[in-house]
Amino acid sequence: MNPLREGLSMRTLAQPCIVVIFGATGDLTMRKLIPALYNITADGEMPPGVAVVGFARREKTDEQFRTEQEETTRKFSRQQVRDDVWNQFAGSLFYHQSEFHDPAGYKRLVDRLNKLDDERGTGGNLLFYLAVAPDQSEAILKNLKAVGLNKGRNGGWARVIVEKPFGTDLPSAQELNKVVRTAFSEEQTYRIDHFLGKETAQNILVLRFANATFEPIWNARYVDHIQITAAETLGVESRAGYYEGAGALRDMVQNHLLQLLCLVAMEPPTDLSADSVRDEKLKVVRSLRRLAESEVGNDVIRGQYSAGAINGKEVPDYRSEKNVNPQSMTETYVALRLHLDNWRWGGVPIFMRVGKRLPKSGTEISVHFKKAPSVLFNKESEGHGHNVLVIRIQPDEGISLRIEAKLPGTSLRIEPVKMDFHYGTSFGKASPEAYERLLLDAMAGDATLFARRDEVEEAWAFIDAIQHAWQAKENAPPLCFYPAGSWGPDEADKLIASEGRTWRRL
């Protein structure tokens, strides 16, 4: 044991490599990936010698690519861009022009990567990031394999990060998994969900398993119900081309919200290795009670925003948005009632909701504990509520616990109070962006926060049953409408009210 590292985190360190980003001129690269890589450099966590090669179709020089990335990084970086750090980082940025389907472009890429490996000493390690539409993935993967880039050079490693959506249903996810498997093994494949890179999402496991306070009561005996909410004030914006074919169910529930549910509901893993954690998450998805088509209308509400106002500004209805079908049946809101058929959570309803054009943006998990017996306080305690543990994923990452306390005074009056923990104020520094953590984990070969093939396919199997019911020619559940700026359709309130509960206000 190195005495200088005593007490420090023993997480696997990121290794020198060449990061190749396919779709280097796209929105994801400019808003998230390059700023994340810059911040890793600024924080001193970037392994030595790392090079970043942008792969895209447009003609561009290295210098043009660096200039464009500097402009967007200064705009989107979580911390102010320092000239000295940027100049150091920019020297590691390169650009490679080619069509995704052009084999000759990949042969040139091999020569470019070999030269960079020799110059920068990256040990033959390669990390490919597919920041492209899903229909481009197959051509890229096949061409990488054809030129031997699915293996590291001289004993190094090769890994591929695949962005969501990983398929659009179970058959397409299985087909994409098959395509990926022809080029990269499961151990080389990293399916990314940026929600799992957020500090608070990672802290769920620590909160549950490192504190003796919570784990003994984290079960059906003490928990009344669980709510998971992901709300956005934004509309479809410029994503109509993608969103029309996806909708809120496929875009958010299948990956983000089910991933958060897995972290909340999973059993303790045997250790913190990637497969031990992912084994337990898989059990949660498998224990989700499947909905028959006849049950979907009772347990799932789909909605679409109509015209309304956000923060006092009038906004159009979804069907009037640019590139949206005027008769679109795409849902911008989903509310679900779920059940996990296992020993820990049997009988505990789980409510999820996700929507666009809601009054407030935020993602949170709330665990509502059962009420204490009222025999001690009798009438005085009428109206006192549940203890609620709230895990805020974004914004203002943190955790709060609502408890009951006596109001000061001569009479016995009970009022709820909150015990609050904020990441920013408690630790005195901002949390890193999710992509920063996930990129470093991929460089280190730690797949804990990435989805495994079987988990993705099980999630799609659950979602497909809902999607099929919505698309049925007869007796399909109706599409409900809600004004922009409201908290969703009335039917969603009735869904949770039928269980004697109400949605928690963000």
pLDDT in tens, 345-378: 999 999 999 999 999 999 999 999 998 776 666 5
Position 383 pLDDT exceeds 70: no
Residue 205 — very low, low, confident or very high, per pLDDT cuts 50/70/90?
A: confident
Pairing of strands 308-310, 158-162: unpaired
How do residues 47-105 score in pLDDT, each as one tens digit? 999 999 999 999 989 999 999 999 999 999 988 999 999 999 999 999 999 999 999 99
Of 429 and 36, the structure prediction assigns the larger pLDDT to 36
Position 202 pLDDT exceeds 80: no
Other C-beta atoms within 10 Å of 482: how many? 23
Distance separating alpha carbons of residues 138 and 255, to the nearest angstrom: 21
Average pLDDT over residues 422-443: 80
Distance separating alpha carbons of residues 159 and 462, to the nearest angstrom: 29
Known catalytic residues are 256
Q: What is the DSSP string of 166-209?
A: --SSHHHHHHHHHHHHHHS-GGGEEE--GGGGSHHHHHHHHHHH
Which stretch, 195-209, 221-235, 445-459, 467-481, has highest mean pLDDT? 221-235
Query: Residues, the chain, total?
Result: 506
Which pLDDT belongs to residue 4? 43
Average pLDDT over residues 200-206: 81
Position 495 pLDDT exceeds 90: yes
Supply the mean pLDDT for the chain. Answer: 88
Residue 418 — very low, low, confident or very high, per pLDDT cuts 50/70/90?
A: confident
Which pLDDT belongs to residue 2? 44
Tokens matching residue 21? 């980003």
What's the first-to-final CA gap in the chain, in angstroms?
A: 46
CB 249 within 8 A of CB 425: no
Among residues of the chain, what percentage have pLDDT more than 90? 59
Which pLDDT belongs to residue 3? 45
Angle separating helix axes 134-146 and 103-120, nearest 10 degrees: 70
Position 342 pLDDT exceeds 90: yes
Which pLDDT belongs to residue 7? 44
